[in-house]
């Protein structure tokens, strides 16, 4: 039997949100808000009786209740805080919804059963009668892929004037299906995040390398630690270069990670060395560090006995690094550059990692495309949920990333590394500065990578982009993804700023008012240092 508005909002899943609102507004204020949301939801239900029954399963159970609550919460608390609170609530609820899927994939035959169920249920749950425009491309017992060109979540949230809420539902999928044992869930983009298609892909993977590789990782910081974890998880022979007290901790207690969004803990036991093992052969070496450290280390990387050297991190000096590696090498090497989109911080005996799903390593040469042999090799290395995402011309990919990162840093430093103080005007100016950075890259003869990224600063996608940034700023994600790193890596950010400003100096006629204003408003690098 269809539920009415009161029954929908009295579900136990909303109890944590009620408690949060009571804390913010008091008992009477929270109760009054809930009554208003119920009335709003009832009106939406009454006005949608002409929708197909399958589409109403989405609108009545998910879209309308959340949108009704959001509108009333925004009126009481402000749009940014309302969105942040709902994202926190949705995250916790998604973790509960994930548990049955974890139980399924751990059961004998459960992984293939899950994929078959997705293939069977797609026409009903994500078909035309449910309000979706979708095409299924692959449907087998180990792989299902379908593309969604339009969906009721994007459409109805836009019609209700709250398009930023659509990203909440996209994130639910990332948490529920991402990183399930033995199953890989990926989407290059989603409609709710401004992409033109939601390319939903679920496939079976045992996650273990059929031919384990001998790999060296230099730099067990936050990013390096997660890379080490996925390589160990895939069954490779992993050696880690570490020094000082942290090397002792890794050797005695293992590599302990707390996966913040997934609320899980892992421990791996790679081999630890304290000096660069130049007399050993490795199938590949990964150096994960700041660009100033990478430039200094490059000649030593050339001394390694490894056919592949991968330099991972923010780096605007890829040509100089590659030249130095080759100059110091007695053997032929391919030098590739990578970037991993994880964040977090290190604690006394563990590393806290912030990531969505399993994620990937963006990987490619400084110029041109990776050859087929290199692609095949790294596809064997990254054989589980974590994948190699090959890009071309990493010199420009990393430049695009740098001009996207620095405006966050400028704002964070001006606000004392407390992004919760950021206003809507700050976010607008921040996005404007990113767009100006892309204009500089184009004027300098570069390419915007990943392709299509510049569209996020234009039209409706700009609205969704700014909304996502406001959520991040107002929640713990802003601290974990931005300000923790800003506080602990001032030297790295200063070096990145100097390299980017060198690029800007090549095209002085390109106007950058937002960029210049943000940079001028922050403390000087000497004050920060």
Residue 338 bridge partners (DSSP): 312, 363
Tell me the average pLDDT across 457-479: 84
Q: Three-state SS for 447?
A: coil
**Residue 320 near residue 299, CB atoms below 8 Å:** no
**Which of 304, 302, 294 is CA-nearest to residue 273?**
304
At residue 316, what are phi and psi to the nearest 5 degrees? -105, 10
* Structure confidence at residue 124 as a pLDDT band (50, 70, 90): confident
Structure tokens, 153: 């979540």
Going from the C-alpha of 439 to that of each of 223, 319, 427, 429, 515, the distances in angstroms are 29, 22, 19, 15, 11
Q: How do residues 221-238 score in pLDDT, each as one tens digit?
A: 999 999 999 999 898 999
Alpha carbons 63 and 172: distance in angstroms, whole number? 13
Q: How do residues 272-311 score in pLDDT, each as one tens digit?
A: 999 999 999 999 999 999 888 999 999 999 999 999 999 9
Window from 90-94, 245-249, 452-456 with minimum mean pLDDT: 452-456
* Sign of the four-CA dihedral 320, 323, 328, 329: positive
Q: What is the pLDDT of residue 139?
A: 83
Q: How do residues 62-78 score in pLDDT, each as one tens digit?
A: 999 999 999 999 999 99
Structure tokens, 50: 């002409």
Residues with Cβ within 8 Å of 338's Cβ and at least 6 positions away in sequence, in order, are 286, 310, 311, 312, 361, 362, 363, 364, 394
Alpha carbons 90 and 84: distance in angstroms, whole number? 10
Residues with Cβ within 8 Å of 419's Cβ and at least 6 positions away in sequence, in order, are 411, 412, 472, 473, 474, 478, 479, 482, 483
**Residue 203 near residue 116, CB atoms below 8 Å:** no
Structure tokens, 362: 């963006």
The whole model's pTM is what? 0.80
- Look up residue 452 and give its DSSP letter: T
Tell me the average pLDDT across 392-410: 96
* Structure confidence at residue 459 as a pLDDT band (50, 70, 90): confident
Q: How do residues 95-111 score in pLDDT, each as one tens digit?
A: 999 999 999 999 988 99
Tell me the average pLDDT across 387-394: 95
Residue 63 bridge partners (DSSP): none
Q: Could you identify the residue written with the tokens 């910081």?
A: 221
Structure tokens, 215: 């790999």
Please state, rounded to an integer, the average pLDDT across all residues of the chain. 93
**Residue 522 near residue 414, CB atoms below 8 Å:** yes
Alpha carbons 161 and 460: distance in angstroms, whole number? 12
Tell me the average pLDDT across 427-432: 95
* Structure confidence at residue 138 as a pLDDT band (50, 70, 90): confident
Q: What is the pLDDT of residue 385?
A: 78
Q: What is the pLDDT of residue 179?
A: 84
Residues with Cβ within 8 Å of 210's Cβ and at least 6 positions away in sequence, in order, are 380, 383
Alpha carbons 389 and 338: distance in angstroms, whole number? 9
Structure tokens, 63: 């879209």
Structure tokens, 353: 């990692």
Q: Which residues of 184-211 are buried (b: 16+ CB within 10 A; e: fewer)?
A: bbbbeebbbbbbebbbbbbbbbebebee
Structure tokens, 503: 């690029």
CA atoms within 13 A of residue 164's CA, in its CB half-sphere: 22
Q: What is the pLDDT of residue 34?
A: 97
Asked whether residue 399 carries a pLDDT value surpassing 80, the answer given is yes
Q: What is the pLDDT of residue 465?
A: 86
Asked whether residue 1 carries a pLDDT value surpassing 50, the answer given is no
Q: Higher model confidence: residue 398 or residue 483?
A: 398
Tell me the average pLDDT across 165-187: 89
Q: What is the DSSP annotation of 324-345? A: HHHHT-SS--EEEEEEE--EEE
Q: What is the pLDDT of residue 2?
A: 61
């Amino acid at each position: 039997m269809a539920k009415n508005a009161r029954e929908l909002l009295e579900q136990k899943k909303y109890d944590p949100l009620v408690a949060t609102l009571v804390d913010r507004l008091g008992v009477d204020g929270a109760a009054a808000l809930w009554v208003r949301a119920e009335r709003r939801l009832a009106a939406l239900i009454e006005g949608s009786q002409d929708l197909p029954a399958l589409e109403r399963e989405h609108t009545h159970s998910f879209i309308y209740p959340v949108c009704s609550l959001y509108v009333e919460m925004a009126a009481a608390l402000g749009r940014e805080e309302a969105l942040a609170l709902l994202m926190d609530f949705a995250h916790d609820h998604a973790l509960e919804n994930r548990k049955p899927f974890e139980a399924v994939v751990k059961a004998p035959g459960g992984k293939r059963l899950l994929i078959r169920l997705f293939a069977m249920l797609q026409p009903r749950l994500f078909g035309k009668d449910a309000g979706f425009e979708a095409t299924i491309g692959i449907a087998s017992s180990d792989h299902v892929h379908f593309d969604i060109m339009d969906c009721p979540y994007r459409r109805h949230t836009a019609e209700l004037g709250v398009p930023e809420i659509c990203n909440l539902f996209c994130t639910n999928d990332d948490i529920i299906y991402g990183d399930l044992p033995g199953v890989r869930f990926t989407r290059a983009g989603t409609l709710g995040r401004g992409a033109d298609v939601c390319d939903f892909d679920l496939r079976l993977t045992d996650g273990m390398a059929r031919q384990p590789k001998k790999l060296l990782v230099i730099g067990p910081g936050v990013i390096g630690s997660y890379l080490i974890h996925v390589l160990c998880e895939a069954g490779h022979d992993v050696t880690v270069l570490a020094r000082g007290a942290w090397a002792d901790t890794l050797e005695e207690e293992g590599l302990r990670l707390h996966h913040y969004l997934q609320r899980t803990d892992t421990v791996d036991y790679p081999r630890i060395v304290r000096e660069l093992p130049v007399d050993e052969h490795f199938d590949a070496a990964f150096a994960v560090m700041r660009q100033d450290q990478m430039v200094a280390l490059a000649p030593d990387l050339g001394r390694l006995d490894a056919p592949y050297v991968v330099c991972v991190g923010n780096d605007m000096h890829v040509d100089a690094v590659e030249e130095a590696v080759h100059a110091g090498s007695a053997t032929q090497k391919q030098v590739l550059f990578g970037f991993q989109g994880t964040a977090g911080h290190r604690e006394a005996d563990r590393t806290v990692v912030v990531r969505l799903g399993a994620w990937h390593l963006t990987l490619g040469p400084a110029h041109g495309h990776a050859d087929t042999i290199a692609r095949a090799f790294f596809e064997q290395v990254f054989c589980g949920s974590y994948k190699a995402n090959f890009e071309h011309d990493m010199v420009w990919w990393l430049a695009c990333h740098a001009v996207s990162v620095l405006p966050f840093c400028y704002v964070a430093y001006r606000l004392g590394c407390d992004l919760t103080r950021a206003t809507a005007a700050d976010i607008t100016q921040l996005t404007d500065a990113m767009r100006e950075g892309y204009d500089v890259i184009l004027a300098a003869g570069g390419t915007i990578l990943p392709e299509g990224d510049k569209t996020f600063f234009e039209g409706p996608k700009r609205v969704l982009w700014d909304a996502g940034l406001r959520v991040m700023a107002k929640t713990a994600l802003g601290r974990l993804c931005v300000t923790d790193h800003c506080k602990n890596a001032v030297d790295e950010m200063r070096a990145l700023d100097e390299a980017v400003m060198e690029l800007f100096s090549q095209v002085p006629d390109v106007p950058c008012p937002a960029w210049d204003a943000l940079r001028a408003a922050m403390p000087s690098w000497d004050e920060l240092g």
